[in-house]
Every structure is written in C-alpha cells, then in structure tokens.
Amino acid sequence: MYIESAQNDRVRAWSQLKSKKGRAKSGRFLVEGRLLVLELLRSAYEIEAVLWDVSSDEPSDDLRSHPKVASRLVELSPAAFAQVADTSTPQGVIAVARIPHQQTVAMTAPAVLLDGMQDPGNVGTLFRTCEAFGIQTVCCGTNTVDMFAPKVVRSTMGGMFRLSLHDRDSTEFIEAWRAAFPSGQVVAAAAQADDWCYTTEMSHDTLIVIGSEAKGIRPEVLPLVDKLVSIPMQGQAESLNAAVAGSILAYEWFRQQHRRS
C-alpha cells in the first residue's frame, strides 16, 4: 500500500498517537527507528503497521521479510511520513503497535514503581536499566509520564519490550503487589534516610519505589513503605538524578541476588 497525502485519514490517525490522548483512545503507540522496530518485532507485542518513508533507504531484509511485517508494510510519501514522525531527523521506519491490556500484564518480584516521575528520558533509562538487571515488572504510577510516549520509547533502546509494564495509581499498585507477595518488602529511595542501600537486605521479594527528583516520593505513598534507604555519596551534591538513583538501587538488588547465588 502507498499513501501520498499527509491529510489521509490513516496518516492523521497515526499522527495522533504522538499524544497521550490519541494513544489512550486507540490503544496504539509509535515505535520510531530501525533498531527499535527490529527489537519490537522480536518481542511479544502485536504490530498493526510498519510505515516506510519512500525517500529513505529500503527497509532491511530482516525487517521486510519478518513474519510480523508481511502485509503490514505501508509506503508513505515524505510529507505523509513527516506527519507521523516524532523526531526532527527520522530514520525512515515507524511501527504502529498495540498497547497490551493491563489485565494481561504479569506482576513479578522484584519490581520497580515510578512515583511522580515526569521526565521521559529518566523513565526510559530506568526501563532499560531494570531489563538489564533482571527486574521484569515496572509500574508507571501516579503523575508519572505516559510509558508509551515517543520519547520514553526511544530512550529505552528496546528494553521496554521485554518488561511487564503497569500503568496504575501508585498506592493501588503497592497494595496489589503486597497481595501477590505478602512476605515481600517495599523499599524507597530517600536522600536523608539513615540506612544505606547496600546494608539493607534486598535480595528477597522487593518493590523499589523511586520518586521525582524535585519532590521525591509523594506523601500518600510514604506510609506504605517498609524501609527508606539512601545512597552514600562523598561529594557535595544533595541528591542524585532520579534515573541514576533508581539504577543504583536496581543494581544493588542484582548484586545481592548474584552474591547469594
């Protein structure tokens, strides 16, 4: 199929997926860039369409011949493709994928809850870090950026496609996680906490809560936390970037787990 006009109904519908409202209405999201699309194709996500800018290089053989692509490849004129693309210098390939139903998303331990994190780069970085260290369940909690926003998707470098991602109120997620893992603990990062992360036992079922860099964990969440931990620092910085702090705690869980094995 070839679409010339940027005003085509399908093109306009795909373009609306750049907004949270459009994604929520359609249950679809965009994956932009050759490497990210290939990572998506290797995952369990369902593909609706793969869009190719006819003015760019031909799609690679492994992309064009993939079973998930088959009849779903749509050729777009440069103007139509630019209407859908979120980046200023697109790579010529965009996939339209279906957002998994929340009822089908698994919940595991360990897990990470992002509470009030608004920066898409930080959220995407933490997705990538969690996948790297074997933490399969991540929840974007209250006031956290939409996990399927284009900037979040790009910053995960494909790691998000191998995670169980939840979009839920923070307190509801903690309660549901506790119900699934009654012997588990909820640990949260706090710059002024007395206990350091590496002296806190985290190798068993643990839910790690990371708040926003500006405000930390919201007051509604704090009563649900079992343990506040800090990351020891030598310099004069008062706190760490939220993605950095979360990554350190994710690695600390991994380190303790590896130590036990």
| Section 203-213 average pLDDT | 92
Question: Looking at the predicted structure, is the pLDDT value of residue 191 above 90?
Answer: no
Amino acid at 148: F
For residues 223 and 229, give the distance between their C-alpha atoms in angstroms, rounded to a whole number: 15
Question: Looking at the predicted structure, is the pLDDT value of residue 179 above 90?
Answer: yes
- Full-model pTM: 0.93
| Section 66-92 average pLDDT | 94
Domains of the chain and any CATH numbers? 2-99 (3.30.1330.30), 103-260 (3.40.1280.10)
pLDDT at res. 214: 83
| Section 101-126 average pLDDT | 94
Percent of the chain with pLDDT over 70: 99
Give me 245's structure tokens: 């702090």
Residue whose C-alpha is closest to residue 45's, from 110, 107, 96, 112: 96
C-alpha angle 213-218-219 in degrees, rounded to nearest 5: 140
Would you say 84 and 11 are in contact if contact means Cβ atoms under 8 Å apart? yes
Q: How confident is the model at residue 108 (pLDDT cuts 50, 70, 90)?
A: very high
Give me 5's structure tokens: 């006009």
Residues 6+ apart with CB under 8 A from 16: 22, 25, 26
What DSSP line would sit under 29-70, residue for residue? Answer: EEEESHHHHHHHHTSS--EEEEEEETTSPPPPHHHHT-TTTG
Dihedral, 242, 245, 247, 251 alpha carbons, nearest 10: -160
pLDDT per position as a tens digit, 241-257: 999 999 999 999 999 98
pLDDT per position as a tens digit, 21-67: 999 999 999 999 999 999 999 999 999 999 999 999 888 888 888 99
| Section 215-220 average pLDDT | 91
| Section 256-261 average pLDDT | 76
Question: Looking at the predicted structure, is the pLDDT value of residue 130 above 80?
Answer: yes
pLDDT at res. 45: 96
Mean pLDDT of the chain: 94
pLDDT at res. 261: 55
| Helix/strand/coil for 93 | strand
pLDDT at res. 260: 58
Residue 170 is inside which H or E element, if any?
helix 170-180
pLDDT at res. 121: 95
Dihedral, 28, 89, 40, 103 alpha carbons, nearest 10: -30
